[in-house]
Amino acid sequence: MNAWTWAVDGWIIAIGALSAIACAVPGAFLVVRRTSMVADAISHAVLPGIAIAFLLSGTRDPLFMFLGAAAAGVFATLASASLARFARIDSGAALGIVFTTMFALGLLLIVQVADRVDLDPSCVLYGAVELAPLDSILIAGSEIPRAALVLGAVTLLNIALAFIFWKELKLMAFDPALARTLGCRPKLMESIVLGMAAATCVAAFESVGSILVVAMMIIPAAAARLFSDRLAGVIVGAMIVGIVGAVLGHWVATSLAPGLVTGGRDASSAGSIAATLGALLVVCIIISPRRGIVVRLAHRWLLTLRIAREDALGLLWRLDEDGRAVDVAQLRGLLVRGSAIPNWLARAAIARLVRDGRVECAGNVARLTAHGRVEGASLVRSHRLWEIYLMQRLAIAKDHVHSTAMVLEHITDSAMRDKLAREEGGVGDHSQPLADPHGRAVPEAPGEK
């Protein structure tokens, strides 16, 4: 457990947060456009760019490295796009071919120059965000890490581009065909997005490593996508998730991991941030308000409970029709068998009906209240109208209509019941009350014809 020193840890977090903000803009577009692996391709393809820049310039000047890497990143996206188009190769395969070949070339080149300069391929992969604060430039009296400056510049560039081309980019992200029809120059917009992605990858990989760039670009945007359907929402959400991931990940690397598994040694911050982002995404998948697992399970549970409740009401109404009285335990047994639901669900459904004042227990006998009787009648009415409809209109055999009607009765509202009653009322003999295929009268529902 090491206490954080703000001159070091503060800058590490700032650099992580800055790369999150810079990555959010192109990341949102890549996720929405479903071309996320472009980030992976660019981040691997920069290796030969760096090596060639070194071979040509003979120095480790960061400017040359940056230019070489950016050129390689742009080349990789263009090459894989044209390979996919002209050789008609699956776009994923084209991407994979280009970036692995470039990565192999980069490895080979780096080994050639390794005895002259310290270019370490693993540095490109993992980055060394821990060392980034050491490489600083004096500006206006304060030491600012070069990585923070570069990332800040790229962040401003990305945000500026997003503001200038907002309408076009948004249209292109969701409907490229319409964008082309309206003359939004989708090719140019596509290049702007890929250019942003390449510049951001290159700016970020030096400090946080190429794999973290992929994680930073894609995971926050995918997480934000769970909370928003608007492009602006996805971008801002991605920034927030990325910043939270940077802070939390650095804390995991320096405080949690040393305390738990590593016996006092810090884990890699970049790696921990990437893994933390993955964990954050899992949390988002669970708690997302509209698509989250919790919400979906809750919906399903509420629906199951509602159906069980309605089945219990219908059951009691039918028992009443036959003049049979049952106690709560018998009702539960009938419900379990009739609706094929577990005992605890039947118990919960009946308890809820009693609490809502739809069912009352007089002595030991379960009875519908006035309110419950109205609802039970509506349900049975729906059920029997559907049975008539299924048999007469769809020619389904008499002994097969019950189970389908059991399903349909739960999604039938009063307007639908009226329509069904009008349809079927016109078919048969008007002097008789409507009767279902099993000869039972369709109950009248108050307020409905």
Partner 1 sequence: MIGLDYNTQVVAAATALLGGAAGVAGCLLLLRRRALMGDALGHATLPGIAAAYLVSVAMGGTGKEPWILLAGAAVGAIAGVIAVLVIRRGARVSDETAMAIVLGAFFGLGTALLTVIQASPKGHQAGLSSFILGHAASMVASDLRAASIVALACVALVVLLTKELRLLCFDESFARTIGRPVRWLDALVLLIVTAVVIAGLQAVGLILILALLILPATAARLCTDRFATLLPLAAALGAVSGVGGTLVSSSAPNLPTGPCIVLFAAALFAVALIFAPRRGLLARASASRVRGSPS
Give the footprint of partner 1 on this chain (CB under 8 A): 31, 34-37, 39-40, 44, 83, 86-90, 92-93, 95-97, 100-101, 103-105, 107-108, 111-112, 121-122, 125-126, 209, 211-212, 214-219, 222-223, 225-226, 253, 257, 261-263, 265-268, 270-275, 277-279, 281, 284-285, 291, 293
C-beta of 15: minimal distance to partner 1 in Å? 16
C-beta of 84: minimal distance to partner 1 in Å? 11
C-beta of 217: minimal distance to partner 1 in Å? 8
- Identity of the residue, 108 or 137, whose beta carbon is nearer to partner 1 in the bound complex: 108
- Identity of the residue, 32 or 380, whose beta carbon is nearer to partner 1 in the bound complex: 32
- Identity of the residue, 201 or 359, whose beta carbon is nearer to partner 1 in the bound complex: 201
- Identity of the residue, 214 or 349, whose beta carbon is nearer to partner 1 in the bound complex: 214
Of the candidates 106, 109, 105, 148, which has an alpha carbon nearest to the alpha carbon of residue 124? 106
DSSP state of 263: T
DSSP state of 2: -
Token pair for 388: 């008539």
Report CA 61 to chain centroid distance, whole Å. Answer: 41
Instruction: List CB contacts of 205: < 8 A, sequence separation 6 or more.
Output: 43, 46, 69, 124, 127, 213
- Side by side, the strands of the sheet bearing 359-362 are 326-327, 365-368, 359-362
C-beta of 86: minimal distance to partner 1 in Å? 7
C-beta of 53: minimal distance to partner 1 in Å? 19
Please answer whether residues 421 and 389 qualify as being in contact, where contact means their C-beta atoms are separated by less than 8 angstroms. no
C-beta of 87: minimal distance to partner 1 in Å? 6
C-beta of 101: minimal distance to partner 1 in Å? 4
C-beta of 169: minimal distance to partner 1 in Å? 18
Of the candidates 327, 330, 315, 333, which has an alpha carbon nearest to the alpha carbon of residue 363? 327
Phi, psi of 33 (to 5 degrees): -80, 0
Instruction: List CB contacts of 190: < 8 A, sequence separation 6 or more.
Output: 172
Task: State the Cα–Cα distance between residues 228 and 215, nearest whole angstrom.
Answer: 20
- Identity of the residue, 281 or 353, whose beta carbon is nearer to partner 1 in the bound complex: 281
Please answer whether residues 132 and 71 qualify as being in contact, where contact means their C-beta atoms are separated by less than 8 angstroms. no
Q: Parallel, antiparallel, or unpaired for β 136-139 and 142-145?
A: antiparallel
C-beta of 185: minimal distance to partner 1 in Å? 25
- Identity of the residue, 280 or 379, whose beta carbon is nearer to partner 1 in the bound complex: 280
- Identity of the residue, 34 or 355, whose beta carbon is nearer to partner 1 in the bound complex: 34
- Identity of the residue, 214 or 312, whose beta carbon is nearer to partner 1 in the bound complex: 214
DSSP string, 360-390: EEETTEEEE-HHHHHHHHHHHHHHHHHHHHH
- Identity of the residue, 112 or 364, whose beta carbon is nearer to partner 1 in the bound complex: 112
C-beta of 71: minimal distance to partner 1 in Å? 19
Residue holding tokens 């600083």? 136
Please answer whether residues 28 and 235 qualify as being in contact, where contact means their C-beta atoms are separated by less than 8 angstroms. yes
Q: Cα torsion at 384, 389, 391, 393 (round to 10°)?
A: 180
- Identity of the residue, 169 or 211, whose beta carbon is nearer to partner 1 in the bound complex: 211
DSSP string, 105-142: HHHHHHHHHTTTS---HHHHHH--TTTGGGSEEEETTE
